[in-house]
Chains A and B, each alone.
Chain A
Amino acid sequence: MTQTDTDNSTNAPISVKPVIRVVDLVKRFSGRAVLDGINLAVHKGETIVIMGGSGCGKSTLLRHMIGSLFPEEGRVELLGRNLNELDEPDLNALRLRFGILFQSGALFNSMTVGENVALPLREHTNLDEQTIDIMVTIKLEQVGLREAADLMPAEISGGMKKRAGLARAIALDPEILFYDEPSAGLDPVTSAEIDQLVMDLSGKLGVTSVVVTHEMDSAFRIADRMAMLDRGKMIKIAPRSEFEAIRDGQATGDEGTDLIRQFLRGDSEGPITARRLSTGYEEDILEAAWEE
């Protein structure tokens, strides 16, 4: 297992064994490949942002990395363990070492915010109630929600739900944190606050972070490296600076680069929109008439 990094990033630390390795991963839903030969290595302490348009397979990739979906081909290694080969107890033991912030926060609606954060501690540690209370207060303070401990999830805003979800995800001090669209549906200020939390957690606690998003402002704020998925294929993995150069540079004529450039800039014209309109309106009409 001393294999070197297989992705095409240039200046990632190659000597260190990655905490997450995705190798030749293929996933098909009813015959259609939604992930097609994905390779990715994530190193300890870094923040990697996986981006791509809706339906490109980025959420599916995330679900493979957390062991809720399993690939048809290839494998995912998390903290040195091949997820395909783990049985339920082993997978559960591994699950305690990573946390996930779900898109909606995924708080348990029947419990208060504090009880949500306390749940993993109650279920997976032997701590007494007093210690758990203290830890819940600390975790909520870390995300700036200490005053909301006794509120029900239905009583708090979307941004607060995400912060509470984050407090729950870090309850057991995970080594890796996965974020599914952390800033989706939030206003710019709240979104920036969440980004700051992501950066704090990775900076202060040395947590490895994997963020799936299509919010470019947020992606450029938090990423060390970025990975671009397009129609189930990984088209580029590189440090943030390279993506910044593509975003700020001129169109190159190379389709792959221009596609990334269009995505990063949010342009309405470019390779992504061009391929949607590959057959013209008139042809469609004539074709339909012909079939009649």
Chain B
Amino acid sequence: MSDHAAQRNFVEAVGARVLGGVCYLGGITILLGRAVSVSRATLARSSGRDALIVQMVRVGVRSVGIVCLVQIFIGVILALQLAPPLEPWGQVEMIANIIGIAGFRMLGPILTAVVLSGFAGASIAAELGTMVVAEEIEALQAHALNPVRFLIVPRLLATFVMMILLTIIANWMIAIGGYVTALAVLDPEVSEGYWSLMRDQLRLRDFASGLIMAGVFGVLISLIACYEGLRVRGGAEGVGKATTMTVVYSIVSIVLAAGVFTAIFYVFGF
């Protein structure tokens, strides 16, 4: 009897989770659809373009420093970790190739997205959540102003664009981090051949695949942040929860999306 009950509880709990997940995906998809449908209306107005610039500064410009810091260290770490195992094979100079591929295709976009989900995603969720609590969203609707056009589109576009731009910077920071390490710590021939090896290794598709992923991550972070912010209920506690969940869901979705895209790129040899 209690065994049955326990089994049923388990099945119900799993079912509820799955249903919740499907609803969440549905909600995010609808939000994206609405944002796309009014994005032209947003950009047609000077107020919309101003809001976009404000958000780009907030999302992107303010995160440049922290992205650079993180990514330079990633380059340093990669170089220091890779050099010893490559040494016995006489292949230490190959760190340039490996850092190029790992940085441009994967670590640049992923770690920038993780930084941005904490930096921009959390603040977008907190801001929108506070607006919900303060009845500002309702007030927008009451004034016949579409919150999606007014609030969501600028944040979505800004995060999308800035994520790509930040990733371009991040990629070079990883490369520079590796180079600086080679210069300072490793044999001179490693740093001498560093840039030419990296240039030989990297193809246009390596840049492109990283930037495609960066764009997708940007959309995911801002959508999750906006969705979490807009569905805040119950005051300050709700805002705190939305902020936390934004970071958690963003990072999970970034890693899952990276997996999916890597598989697709692998299959198509991209």
Contacts and interface: CB of A to CB of B under 8 A. Distances in A.
Interface of A: 66, 68, 92-93, 95-96, 99-100, 102-104, 106-109, 119-120, 122-124, 165, 168
A95 B142 contact: yes
**Residue in A66, A92, A108 with the greatest tally of chain B CB atoms within 10 Å:** A108
B138 A68 contact: yes
B134 interface: yes
B143 A120 contact: yes
Interface in B114-169: 130-131, 134-136, 138-145
Contacts of A123: 47, 143-145
B144 A92 contact: yes
Contact of A68 (B47, B142, B145): B142
Contacts of B141: 68, 95
A96 B142 CA distance: 8
A102 B144 contact: no
Contacts of A93: 144
A182 B143 CA distance: 18
B231 to A, nearest CB: 15
Contacts of A109: 130-131, 134, 136
Nearest to A124: B144
Interface residues of B, number: 14
A263 to B, nearest CB: 26
15 contacts: A66-B142, A68-B138, A93-B144, A95-B144, A100-B142, A102-B142, A104-B135, A106-B136, A106-B138, A108-B136, A109-B131, A120-B143, A123-B144, A124-B144, A168-B143
A25 B44 CA distance: 40
Given A95-B144, A96-B144, A109-B134, 11 more contacts: A68-B142, A92-B144, A100-B142, A102-B138, A104-B134, A106-B134, A106-B135, A119-B143, A120-B143, A123-B145, A124-B143
Contacts of A99: 142
Contacts of A108: 136, 139-140
A103 B133 CA distance: 11
A59 B131 CA distance: 19
Nearest to B47: A122
A184 B138 CA distance: 19
Nearest to B45: A123
B90 to A, nearest CB: 60
A17 B146 CA distance: 31
B125 to A, nearest CB: 16
Nearest to A123: B145
A95 B135 contact: no
Nearest to A102: B135
Which of B47, B136, B139 has the most chain A CB within a 10 Å cutoff? B139
Contacts of B134: 104, 106, 109
B144 A100 contact: no
A75 B134 CA distance: 28
A95 B131 CA distance: 20
Contacts of A102: 135, 138-139, 142
A104 B130 CA distance: 13
Contacts of A95: 141-144
B31 to A, nearest CB: 16
Contacts of B135: 102-104, 106
